[in-house]
Structure 1
Amino acid sequence: MELEAPPTLLQLAAQCTVLKDVLTSSVLQDLPRKLFPPLFKEADTQRKAKMIKILVEYWPYPCLLVGLLIDKPNLETFRAILDGVGTWLKRKYRPRMGKLQVVDLRNAHHDSWDMQAGREGKDQSVETILEKQVVESHSRKQRLRVFSDLSFKSSQHEDKYQTHLLQWAKERKGFLHLCCEKLEIGALEVSKVRKVLKILQPEFIKELKLNTVGSLSKLAKLVPCISKMRNLHKLMLVRIFGRSTYTPLDERNITKIISLFPKLSYLQHLTIDDVYFLKEHMNVLFRCLESPLVSLTIILCQISQSDLESFAQRWNYGQLKHLCLKGVPLTTLNVTPLQFFLETVADTLQTLELEDCRMNDAHLNILRPALIQCTHLTSINFYDNNISMEALKDLLRHTANMSQLSTELYPAPVEVYNEWRYVQVEIFSQQCAELMNTLMAVRQPKSICFGTYSCYDCDTRCIYEKKTTFCECLQ
């Protein structure tokens, strides 16, 4: 049994100091810098909110990284931190103290930050472009930056922390910049979204998730706000519903939304999830992408033949590492354009997901020459496609050069299902073992699974890895 290491003298001193509640302004002005972090942590452990407030008022470092000192502060502590920052902002004379430049309220760890120097280490979380364009302007304005990730799901689910932070920042807008790198907006009224965005510095937003925004018209109304987020790296459009046919108003709104993309000069990651309005418009969208995409994810979307052909047109895909087409029906489409596209990105592509695309042998045979050229793939997913035993064998025999694959997910052959689409247990185990032997004859896989469609009754798969694991109904 391992024994816990005894507390250090520094920790014992912090415990005793906080317990006796002897910290005053005069004491803090002469306190060595290195005592502030352990005192801060101990004050949180002992739930001394007033002490946290005064520690923040006299914080001696350029950066106050709350996530490094406290794991998810409670609301009282959170308010004490902001009260301390507010008092700090009002101080005109700060003996021996440097200028507090950054207050980071995010829960993430900040191992790369240099607390004394007030800068980041090698693993920068703020891009060089941001530092040049924004940090230099900040130094001229001499305003404190307060970082926090924000998520607005709906008016009915307001976060007390966020509500307090936004009101606090609004009252001090002339003295600080509220900076949000990750922003999620859900089913919130457009007027409320605009009010929130007025408080934020849009140039700091790097990731934006628009989740259940709902209608096309609502998304179009947000375009002027999003267009100011010029350093956006990641955009996720999730669940935007509408009619199967477009009205003239729909077409105008779609044009307005797509006109946003040329303004996003640093966009690298694009996710389109359960979004109806891009059907017959993907060629225009791709042409509007200014920055080379690193990842493209399209989920539960209907696409046309012309949309698929747009993959093969000239657009910024030269650095694409991750491609996901999940729940995108390809059954009635000619996938030859996708074959050309995969051949073009073969030198950069690292992950490929074609799950639940309802492909058959003919589709796989067209794609196979391109797939075997993607020798840098580390992950591949072909679950939920209607592929026969022979077609799967043929694919696996040609993967000798795909040695970097660490995760492989293939569909169980269509032969394992009976006429009612239920799994035949013995045939499943036998055929998957045969496929595994086929693959091992050309290379040694790291992690490989053959999986059936999810069971109608229990919604789990039968999986063949090193052994067979049946769904809950068959166990």
Structure 2
Amino acid sequence: MEKQESCMPPRLVDLAAQSLLEDEAAAVAALQSLPRESFPPLFVLAVAGRRCRTVQAMVEAWPFPYLPLGALLKALPLGALLKALGCHKDILKAALNGIDALLARDFRPTRWKLQVLDLRSDAETNFWHVWAGLGDRVSASPSRESGAAQPSPEKRGVGPSSPGEKQQFASTEVLVLLSDLCFMKPPVDALLPFLVKRVKQNKLIPRLRCRKLEILDEPLENSIMHMILEKVELARVEQVEVNCKWNLVDLALFVPFLGQMIHLNRLFLSGIQVHASISRKVKRLWAKFTTQLSKLQQLQHLDLDFMRSPAGRLHKMFKYLLPPLESLSITNRGLMECDLKYLCTCPNTSQLRRLDLSDQQLTYFNPHYLHTLLERTSATLEHLNLGGCKMTDFQFTTILPALGQCSQLHCFRFPGNTLPMAALENVLRHVLLQRKIRSLEMSFPVECQRIRNLRAFEDWQDMLIMIEVDLGVQLTCFEPDLEPWRSCYSIWFDVQM
């Protein structure tokens, strides 16, 4: 049966599409009289064959309300996909040129039904499977799972318009672009240049709907970026990543948009330069930022990687957070002892599943605060990263009872903490007793970091074997061949119970 299906002759519609594409000028001219069922297979061939002129013309004449271009690029067969990936920007640019031509018109073309251009590669839709002949269920609109659900074709009148139907043209109200949006130089795709060009030319831009918003490296100037953000349906944004050299003024200018992202689930801030002194201006700008957090009622993941932050002001941020956080990351020396003291009693940290305090200087912090934080989250914490914190053996000894209570801990990372062999043995035994741990990362004991101290390394191996026997576990080293006495070296263990 499978052999017969693989030998089936091509459909007439496919042969017609291939024949039409041999003459691109003829293909463009024929679009006005082309049956709408022929559009998807012809569009697939045009994309795979890098027929940018045809792609642009077909976008202008698209007879369906939904065009999932990103999903098509991902769904193409391997051979065509490899060919299409090299011209991804060209195809996207051609599609956007079609949108540009539509928005420039004073009237709505008779056949144009396009309302959503979906540029996401992970959109779940059976559109191409159906209309390219690969499926058996008809669907001319995205599935509910795609995040862009539309009414059924019958309700929307996807079929040919009636002779007396009036076509009213309202460009920015009709067309929606679905895509993750990334502000950076140079841009990662053709979408940002398209939007910037229209803004600079004082032209209207379509409404934008995105799940992820990124501002990376060297972003656009604030005025242009803000004009684009005004067209984004901010209530639909679920993730925001800011990783650039902003100062607190730049961040404060962005927060009015942030406050409108009422369904934001993850916020990542990195590289923001804030003067360490608490001047009146810094306090005012920081307050402007933190008060907007009270509007983010679905925020569950907060990542802060400040290069410099207001000393001891994190509690001002957390008091505005409403829901309990699922993950919290405060890295790169942005933490002070008073901040840690507040976190160990903060209601938002009581149900953490992931805690990352890597590269914080905890050497002189009172370990009681970290002990309290781990104790409060012991029933939910799954991932803990204390790498590069330069904690002493006394500090680790203090937190061991709480660490041993973390019954759900799967991954524990603490390289960059120079501990003697006895202290490491205590840590391993407390953690492994919970039976849930699956991966460990640590530095070698301080005794093994002395140049070519082979005897200490043999003692270290003997200790690991003893732990395996006593606790009934198997510790598999990922990189056992590297020289263990190198002081910069950390080691990963895969743990099997």
TM class, shorter-length:
0.7 to 0.9
Distance 1:456 1:276 in 2: 34
User: 2:154 aligns to what?
Assistant: none
User: 1:105 aligns to what?
Assistant: 119
Residue 83 (1) aligns with residue 97 (2): yes
Distance 1:334 1:79 in 2: 56
> Quick check: which has more Rg, 1 or 2?
2
Distance 2:293 2:258 in 1: 10
Residues 106-154 of structure 1: per-residue CA shift (max 9 Å, x gap): 3x332456662523355x5579xxxxxxxxxxxxx96322022232235
User: 1:180 aligns to what?
Assistant: 210
Residue 42 (1) aligns with residue 45 (2): yes
Distance 1:329 1:361 in 2: 15
Alpha-carbon distance change, 405 to 7 in structure 1, aligned in 2, over 3 angstroms: farther
Q: TM-score scaled by structure 2?
A: 0.76
User: 1:163 aligns to what?
Assistant: 193
Structure 1: tracts of 5 or more residues without a match: 128-140, 467-475
User: 1:469 aligns to what?
Assistant: none
Which of 347, 352, 373 in structure 2 is aligned with 1:315? 347
Residue 9 (1) aligns with residue 13 (2): no
Residues 1-47 of structure 1: per-residue CA shift (max 9 Å, x gap): xxxx88972566654442344535656755363x5444323212322
Residue 431 (1) aligns with residue 460 (2): yes
Distance 1:383 1:346 in 2: 21
User: 1:340 aligns to what?
Assistant: 372
Deviation of the 1:215 alpha carbon: 2.0
Instruction: Give, as a single letter, the amino acid of the residue that structure 1 aligns with 2:395.
Output: H
Alignment: residue pair count? 438
Identity of aligned residues (%): 26
Distance 1:456 1:191 in 2: 54
Distance 2:484 2:291 in 1: 43
Q: TM-score scaled by structure 1?
A: 0.79
Distance 1:364 1:69 in 2: 53
Please tell me whether the aligned partners of residues 277 and 311 of structure 2 are also in contact (alpha carbons under 8 angstroms): no
User: 2:176 aligns to what?
Assistant: 145
Instruction: Give, as a single letter, the amino acid of the residue that structure 2 aligns with 1:216.
Output: L
Please tell me whether the aligned partners of residues 118 and 178 of structure 2 are also in contact (alpha carbons under 8 angstroms): yes
Deviation larger for 341-350 or 306-315? 341-350
Superposition CA RMSD, Å: 3.7
Please tell me whether the aligned partners of residues 231 and 265 of structure 1 are also in contact (alpha carbons under 8 angstroms): yes
User: 2:152 aligns to what?
Assistant: none
SS class of match (1:184): strand
Please tell me whether the aligned partners of residues 182 and 205 of structure 1 are also in contact (alpha carbons under 8 angstroms): yes
Deviation of the 1:263 alpha carbon: 2.1
Alpha-carbon distance change, 396 to 69 in structure 1, aligned in 2, over 3 angstroms: same
Deviation of the 1:300 alpha carbon: 0.5
Distance 2:199 2:407 in 1: 50
Alpha-carbon distance change, 397 to 79 in structure 1, aligned in 2, over 3 angstroms: closer
Deviation of the 1:206 alpha carbon: 2.3
What does 1:17-416 correspond to in 2, within 5 Å? 17-21=20-24, 22-23=26-27, 31=35, 33=37, 35-70=38-73, 72=85, 73-86=87-100, 92=108, 94=110, 99-106=113-120, 108-111=121-124, 116=139, 118-122=141-145, 143-154=174-185, 157=186, 161=190, 162-168=192-198, 176-185=206-215, 186-188=217-219, 189-416=221-448
Please tell me whether the aligned partners of residues 383 and 452 of structure 1 are also in contact (alpha carbons under 8 angstroms): no
Please tell me whether the aligned partners of residues 187 and 193 of structure 2 are also in contact (alpha carbons under 8 angstroms): yes
Structure 2: tracts of 5 or more residues without a match: 1-5, 74-83, 129-138, 150-171
